[in-house]
């Protein structure tokens, strides 16, 4: 070894290379405990989801195993009245889809415009003001939105279209307020997708003479299409599952039809100004009543819930497919 002027002599490099290297990671008890907690949390989430699905499947099977309801009537019937053993899901399904579509018509353009403004136009000061406002809107309890729909939106619609045409409980007011409710979800997810687009694409568009609006609409938005599409589908899923707004403002009974001819006559099933009951609203109303356990009315709740689960699951599957299909890597 050669002496070192500022410390003890160092071993030669050859000696360091010949020394065996221990590749085994030293066991740290703290990391092991954290890993156990993380795995336990993941298992709780998975097992809870699995338990909910199994309960829905079992109770839905119990409902359809009864002699009264049939799959054909459930999916093609136009009347839902369990008291007289009528189990056509169409009135509840129609109201659910109608309120969700109205909500998306409201939320989609407003949410996308907010996202583009925050991503492309807003100054740091404007962002610091608008972002907390959206977070406050997202944090308002949905029951408040329900009474807002009933006490403000319905009188507003009656003032515009007439009280004879717009009923006190109606699908339109509930759908519009659902759209307001999901605006933060659309804008937040869409803004994240727009912000993830590389700055180089914007600079290239500016370099060929594009305006900021042209860059936002023709370059940035198409590049973020997968994220925006996922935001739209997730928001649709949120609208389908909304409960309190429709339970308060949409109506307390299904809009039944005698047959398909009556439903299609003048497209009456699409009238948004009449009362109707959604799937979630019906579940809330029936489960809050005097239902006996293991009756057909009780079991019908799980059939509706299973149908609702299938709808939201399909929307989530479509969302994941859209993200994978249209994702662009830079």
pLDDT tens-digit series, residues 87-99: 899 999 999 999 9
**Residue 228: closest CA among 111, 144, 312:** 111
What is the average per-residue pLDDT within 94-110? 94
CA–CA separation, 151 vs 276, rounded Å?
A: 18
What is the average per-residue pLDDT within 272-298? 84
pLDDT tens-digit series, residues 296-322: 888 888 999 999 999 888 888 888 887
Which three-class secondary structure state does DSSP give residue 303?
helix
Q: Enumerate the domain spans of the chain.
A: 27-65, 72-326
- Estimate the share of the chain in helix, then strand, then coil, as percent rounded to the nearest 5: 70, 0, 25
pLDDT tens-digit series, residues 242-259: 889 999 999 888 888 888
pLDDT band at 156 (very low <50, low <70, confident <90, very high): very high
**pLDDT value at residue 312:** 87
**pLDDT value at residue 329:** 63
Query: Which CATH architecture group holds 72-326?
Result: Orthogonal Bundle (1.10)
**pLDDT value at residue 211:** 86
Is 41's pLDDT higher than 60? yes
CA–CA separation, 324 vs 309, rounded Å?
A: 23
What is the average per-residue pLDDT within 121-150? 88
pLDDT tens-digit series, residues 3-28: 555 555 555 655 555 556 555 556 67
CB 224 within 8 A of CB 190: yes
Q: Looking at per-residue confidence, does 173 or 211 come out higher?
A: 173
């Amino acid at each position: 070894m050669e002496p070192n002027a500022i410390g003890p002599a160092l071993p030669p490099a050859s000696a360091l290379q010949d020394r065996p290297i221990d590749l085994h990671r030293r066991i740290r008890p703290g990391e092991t405990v954290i890993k156990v907690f993380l795995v336990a949390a993941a298992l709780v989430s998975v097992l809870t989801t699995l338990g909910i699905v199994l309960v829905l499947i079992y109770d839905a099977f119990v409902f359809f195993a009864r002699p009264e309801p049939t799959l054909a009537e459930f999916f093609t019937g136009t009347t839902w009245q369990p008291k007289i053993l009528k189990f056509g899901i169409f009135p509840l399904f129609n109201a659910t889809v109608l309120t969700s579509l109205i909500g998306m018509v409201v939320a989609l353009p407003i949410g996308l415009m907010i996202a583009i403004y925050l991503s492309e136009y807003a100054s740091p000061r404007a962002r610091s003001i608008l972002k907390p406002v959206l977070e406050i809107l997202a944090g308002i309890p949905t029951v408040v939105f329900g009474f807002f729909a009933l006490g403000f939106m319905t009188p507003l619609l009656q003032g515009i279209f007439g009280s004879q045409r717009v009923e006190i409980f109606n699908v339109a007011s509930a759908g519009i307020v659902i759209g307001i409710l999901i605006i933060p979800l659309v804008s937040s997810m869409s803004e994240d997708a727009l912000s993830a687009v590389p700055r180089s694409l914007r600079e290239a568009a500016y370099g060929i003479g594009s305006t900021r609006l042209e860059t936002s609409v023709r370059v940035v938005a198409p590049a973020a299409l997968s994220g925006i599409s996922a935001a739209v589908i997730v928001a649709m899923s949120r609208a389908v599952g909304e409960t309190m707004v429709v339970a308060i403002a949409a109506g307390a009974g299904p809009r039944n039809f005698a047959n398909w001819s009556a439903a299609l006559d003048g497209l009456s099933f699409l009238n948004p100004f009449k009362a109707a009951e959604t799937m979630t609203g019906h579940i809330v109303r029936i489960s809050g009543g005097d239902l006996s356990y293991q009756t057909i009315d009780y079991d019908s709740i799980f059939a509706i819930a299973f149908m609702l689960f299938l709808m939201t699951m399909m929307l989530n599957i479509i969302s994941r497919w859209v993200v994978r299909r249209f994702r662009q890597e830079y």
